Amino acid sequence: MLDIDFLLGARLLSTRDIIYVYRSGFVRRRVRVKISEFLNREGYFVTEVDEAGLASAPFRHSLLAPFDKTALICDVSRVESPNGWHKDLGSWLKAISSGPYIHRLCLIIPWNSEARMLAGWEPAASASTMISEPEVTHENANHVLNFFMTESTLFDFSRLKGKRRLKTAFQEVADQQSQNWSLEDAFRAFENICFNGIDSATNTFEPILESDGDNRTTRNPYELHRMLAEFLNAKSTSTLARLLLLVDHRLHFQKLDQQTLVSQLHVATHDLILYNTAKVGAGLTSSETSISKYKLARMKRFQQVDAPDLKLWEATFRRGHSELEWGNFLFAFERLCRRYISRRELVHTFVAATSG
């Protein structure tokens, strides 16, 4: 069973032990949590163990299991010192292959773990439910993409227009790889394709128009404007997460330096102020707003930001933008955004109290 299928709802057998083999570990934490939740629902008392717990495999025949149904989950990736633990791993594999018992074992190991080289590996693998993280290949790229679209909150993929074009674009990138992808690398490429190709205003995917190294022309050049407007409205907690994802994408995929990204945020803020101040919806032309006709047409689709919130963001950004030009940009930008949220809540609370 693939880990992505397990996360999408594939069922486990409660009568078998579990081995999870991961590669990049991209969804390892989520798989571990879901395994624990599954065992709890099946009535097991679940305990997660680390290096010290590796020696507890013989618990099935000892007093280490004071409950009627006990499950041990051991994530071997947490083991920092290799001294002697391969012997304990052998005990776990032997215990798994000699089942079934009333108690359950779950072993989580990396693909290159020594456990897979031990003599007891094959019998344990045959006797257990095996969950594995796939390598992303030409053959399974579409299946992996469907998982990403189901799990991602970046866009509304259930109603995406041009979904077939998105699948073609992802498949083409997968075919260009000199070796198989890890799930994590594939997801980063998926984000890159989506941010470059999806126009959020129309929820439509179009391929990248042209590419010149890391400088790419995209179908949604005003995506930063739109996501900033959504964040400033603060209609939901997910708006900040999506804005941070976009900023992270521009840093690491488009390879923008911090000064360039600060400049883009300046422009987006300035354009939103012009758009808001000019009351474009009342019929003013692009010449009267100092915004190009193309930009004006795109911005009409964005959420309208209330003037007080926009002024508050402008003041917050103006006072704090220098923090973005050095150090960890993403951390500093999130801190600046949360500063805006706190101030916005104070202002709204004050206004509500005084108006009442």
Give pLDDT, residue 301.
58
Give pLDDT, residue 235.
56
**Of the residues 132, 164, 191, the one at which a domain ends:** 132
Give pLDDT, residue 75.
82
When pLDDT is averaged across residues 257-279 and rounded to a whole number, the result is: 81
Distance between alpha carbon 342 and the CA centroid of its chain, in Å?
25
pLDDT of 52 strictly over 70? no
Q: Same domain, yes or no, for 265 and 296?
A: yes
Q: What is the mean pLDDT of the chain?
A: 78
Give pLDDT, residue 323.
83
Give pLDDT, residue 237.
64
Q: Are 260 and 250 in contact (CB under 8 A)?
A: no
Instruction: Return d(Cα 292, Cα 27) in angstroms, integer.
Output: 44
**Is the four-CA dihedral 221, 225, 228, 229 of positive or negative sign?**
negative
**Of the residues 77, 111, 132, the one at which a domain ends:** 132
Give pLDDT, residue 134.
93
Q: Same domain, yes or no, for 82 and 220?
A: no
**pLDDT tens digits along 30-47:** 999 999 999 999 888 888
Contacts of 198 (CB under 8 A, 6+ apart): 155, 160, 166, 204, 205, 219, 220
Q: Same domain, yes or no, for 236 and 321?
A: yes
**Of the residues 72, 99, 132, the one at which a domain ends:** 132
Q: Is 172 strand, coil or helix? A: helix
Report how many helices (DSSP H) and strands (DSSP E) the chain contains, helices first.
14, 9
Instruction: Return d(Cα 228, Cα 233) in angstroms, integer.
Output: 9
Give pLDDT, residue 138.
87
Q: Same domain, yes or no, for 15 and 146?
A: no
Q: Same domain, yes or no, for 226 and 340?
A: yes
Q: Is the peptide bond before 100 cis (omega within 30 degrees of 0)?
A: yes
Q: Name residue, tokens 């964005």.
A: 302
Say which CATH number the domain at 79 has.
Answer: 3.40.50.300
Q: Same domain, yes or no, for 113 and 236?
A: no
The sheet carrying 104-110 orders its strands as 45-49, 70-75, 104-110, 18-22, 129-132
Q: Same domain, yes or no, for 21 and 55?
A: yes
Q: Are 183 and 141 in contact (CB under 8 A)?
A: no
Give pLDDT, residue 34.
94
Q: Same domain, yes or no, for 157 and 121?
A: no
Residue 48 domain boundaries: 3-132
Q: Same domain, yes or no, for 254 and 312?
A: yes
Report the predicted TM-score, pTM, of the whole model to 2 decimal places.
Answer: 0.64
Q: Same domain, yes or no, for 179 and 272?
A: yes
Instruction: Return d(Cα 155, Cα 144) in angstroms, integer.
Output: 17
Please give the full DSSP string across 73-138, using - where no structure is assigned: EEEGGG----TTHHHHHHHHHHHHHT---SSEEEEEEETT-GGGGSTTHHHHHHHSEEEEPPPB-T
Q: Same domain, yes or no, for 24 and 120?
A: yes
Question: Considering its fold, how many domains does the chain have in total?
Answer: 2
pLDDT of 149 strictly over 90? yes
Q: Same domain, yes or no, for 127 and 193?
A: no
Half-sphere exposure in the Cβ direction for 114 (13 Å, CA): 12
**pLDDT tens digits along 314-349:** 999 988 888 887 778 888 899 899 899 888 888 888
Q: Which two tokens stand for residue 28?
A: 């390892």
pLDDT of 287 strictly over 50? no
Q: Are 1 and 130 in contact (CB under 8 A)?
A: yes
Among 54-63, 146-155, 242-251, which stretch is predicted with the lowest mean pLDDT? Answer: 54-63
- Provide the pLDDT confidence category of residue 64 given band limits of 50, 70 and 90: very low
Closest to 66 (Cα-Cα) out of 26, 102, 13: 102
Give pLDDT, residue 278.
58
